[in-house]
Amino acid sequence: MEPRSHDDRTQRILATVDCIPAGRVATYGQVAREAGLPGRARLVGHVLAELPRMSRLPWHRVLTASGAISSRPGPGPGQQLEKLRAEGVRFSHSGRVNLRVWGWNPMAPS
């Protein structure tokens, strides 16, 4: 089961998130831009928040503009941290990811 809203914007966001490779992260704003929805970072957050718990979409690779895990209730943040660490992504002492090092560049060769 995917998010309730199956409109074109939602599908573009989900397709973009699905392209983020293991060991890389993107910001909500970057996902919005890559999906052709500049300025819609909050929409990306809402779409990802509606994903079912067992979704295979790599939602955990999406971070805030500062490289931090978005705070939200429930097990999400801890699970997100564990998944990213398992992919080799490193966090600073302040709990942020260096986006210059770990950021996804969709134009880079695979």
Enter the pTM of the model: 0.88
Tell me, yes or no, whether 105 lies in a domain.
no
| 103 inside domain | no
Alpha helices in the chain (DSSP H): 8-18, 28-34, 41-49, 76-86, 99-102
**Tokens linked to 15:** 């397709």
The whole domain housing 70 covers 8-96
pLDDT at 31 over 60: yes
Of 15 and 52, the one with more pLDDT: 15
Residue 76 has pLDDT above 80, yes or no: no
For residue 66, give the CATH number of its domain. Answer: 1.10.10.10
User: Is the pLDDT assigned to residue 110 strictly greater than 70?
Assistant: no
* Residue 106 maps to a domain: no
pLDDT, one tens digit per residue, over 33-67 is 999 999 999 999 999 998 888 889 999 999 999 99
